[in-house]
Structure 1
Amino acid sequence: MPLENAVVLPVDPAQSFALFTRPEGLRRWMAITARIEPYDAGVYRWTVTPGHTAVGAVVEADPGQRLVLSWGWEGYGDPAPGESTVTVTLAPAPDGTEIRLVHEGLTEQQAARHAEGWSHYLDRLVAAALQGDAGPDEWAAVPDPLDELSCAEATLAVVQHVLRALEPADLARQTPCSQYDVVQLADHLMRSLTIIGSAAGAQLAPRDLDAPLETQVADAGQAVLEAWRRRGVDGTVELNANQVPAAVPVGILCLELLVHAWDFAFATDRRVVVSDTVTEYVLTVAGKVITPAARNSAGFAAPVAVGAFAPVLDRLIAFTGRRPVHPTGLTSPIRADPGS
């Protein structure tokens, strides 16, 4: 059963095509992480929401005019990879570019679900074309199911959103980590991604230091999470010369991504947009990871006292030894749940 949608973007066909075929474009409206080879017989893999990844082949790519993808979902497969086809046709319009999307090969039930999904994401596509970024995706805010891997994908989306907003003047700003400015903290986060990825056999591409920090973290995060998705979290792995349960490094990754998202945001007066559900999960992980012994060896300060009814993100930040108060004296104005 085919479904069809159409929208008009206020940009030209080349810019519109890039929003479908460049990872940095896709991250602005549809994907947490994205890989695509935008040529005939290429492949793509888009993590749309945590735990839900579209994969397939590029059947046809005619820049600025047409993109045809075989479409399916990794893992649960409804439809399975290759069982349906998405055709995106671009045409000049008086106000920009008309995008006509046709999704074929779906059952009636699949078509109903995908109609809702494409409506949501095409609205976000228009917003990205208008504003440069559609903002955090509420559909990605509360993973279902919520586990170590889906939490890592959700928190990667959080830190990417913060980094995407940075300007050149922000890079030298001091973060709450006294030894790091913004660039140095990004270096630290990239080292953590490399170490945690290596525990699952991830092969990270050489780092492009000239790329925006959001691109650097997104590319590394994608490689790391793809490796962990292939491996899973059963059994044990080697981390820093120790054998640990495989779930431990992924939990540490969730903690690093969310806490450092807060650090970047605090340093640059940006907002962290994260659901309480994900933050509660990370706080539970933090309680297991930041033990008294680990607090001393890893350089965490003592927990900062906050009220029992403080927002959960403030409680997480305080547990790591940071003060969840902005220098202006306000309780952190950079915490928000989707829609607030």
Structure 2
Amino acid sequence: MNDMMPLMARATERTSELVRAVRQEQFGSPTPCAEFDVGDLINHLEWVAELFESLGCKGPYVEQGPYAGDFPERARRTLAAWSRPGAWEGTSPAMGLPMSTLAHMYLVDLVVHGWDLARATGQRYEPEPGAVWRALDFTGRMVQTGRQRGVFGPPVAVPADAPEFDRLLGVIGRDPSWTS
């Protein structure tokens, strides 16, 4: 999965830039992800980074902790974990899923939650086309499981000829035209 690492790295850096630009007064603002305001979303991203760092090391499932304000540092550790030899081999002892599936889950989280954060805070966001394509392909295959587990919402209708990113958002339950 060497082709995934550059996509994961660029999605991580882009989302880290967005997080660094959030102002404290924006923390209570709503996001397209209905269960999170901006502060909760950043806390969720911190947990995602911590969880996928552990999973990348074949470690345990970790629970979400309180907001720490260190997403970029956690995300760098996540990428380091996935850059290790053997990180992509086999299945996760904690999740029972192939490691490549977990890497795709991380990519989807960073790409979509990056958009959520940008939209909620008025920042520009352009995900990398390769990451969007991989995320759309993966979610297309995993959408029913994602909905059953409450990870994806009900689909939002978008035109069949809509850009790939809008289709990705619609598949997982986001309205591409959402505004605060």
TM, length-normalised to structure 1: 0.47
Deviations 1:197-230 (A, max 9, x none): 2122289xx9983x4xxxx111111111111111
Change (3 A) 1:187 1:232: same
Please tell me whether residue 237 in structure 1 is matched to residue 92 in structure 2: yes
Contact 2:19 2:42 in 1 (8 A): no
> In the alignment, which residue of structure 1 is the partner of 2:82?
228
Change (3 A) 1:266 1:280: same
Deviations 1:107-146 (A, max 9, x none): xxxxxxxxxxxxxxxxxxxxxxxxxxxxxxxxxxxxxx97
% of aligned pairs identical?
26
Secondary structure of 1:301 counterpart: coil
> Within 5 A, what are the aligned runs for 1:293-312?
293-312=145-164
More strand by share: 1
- How far apart, CA to CA, are the structure 2 residues paired with 1:202 and 1:173? 35
Change (3 A) 1:166 1:304: same
TM, length-normalised to structure 2: 0.85
More helix by share: 2
Change (3 A) 1:146 1:199: closer
How far 1:256 moved relative to its partner?
Answer: 0.2
> In the alignment, which residue of structure 1 is the partner of 2:128?
275
Please tell me whether residue 157 in structure 1 is matched to residue 13 in structure 2: yes
> In the alignment, which residue of structure 2 is the partner of 1:174?
30
Max Rg structure:
1
Change (3 A) 1:180 1:190: same
> Within 5 A, what are the aligned runs for 1:172-321?
172-201=28-57, 209=68, 211=69, 216-230=70-84, 231-240=86-95, 243-290=96-143, 292-321=144-173
How far 1:165 moved relative to its partner?
Answer: 2.2
Letter in structure 2 aligned against 1:148:
M
Change (3 A) 1:322 1:233: same
Give the counterpart of 2:3 among 147, 167, 173: 147
Contact 2:111 2:131 in 1 (8 A): no
Contact 1:175 1:264 in 2 (8 A): yes
Secondary structure of 1:272 counterpart: coil
How far 1:287 moved relative to its partner?
Answer: 1.9
Change (3 A) 1:202 1:245: closer
- How far apart, CA to CA, are the structure 1 residues paired with 2:123 and 2:19? 9
Contact 1:303 1:319 in 2 (8 A): yes
> Within 5 A, what are the aligned runs for 1:43-192?
147-192=3-48
Change (3 A) 1:325 1:283: same
How far 1:186 moved relative to its partner?
Answer: 1.3
Deviations 1:272-331 (A, max 9, x none): 1223222112211222333x1331222421211111221221111111101100338xxx
Letter in structure 2 aligned against 1:233:
W
With CA pairs under 8 Å and 6+ residues apart, which has the higher RCO, 1 or 2?
2
- How far apart, CA to CA, are the structure 1 residues paired with 2:175 and 2:45? 20
Which ranges in structure 1 are unaligned for 5 or more consecutive residues?
1-144, 329-340
RMSD: 2.5
- How far apart, CA to CA, are the structure 2 residues paired with 1:306 and 1:208? 34
Letter in structure 1 aligned against 2:89:
D
Secondary structure of 2:83 counterpart: helix
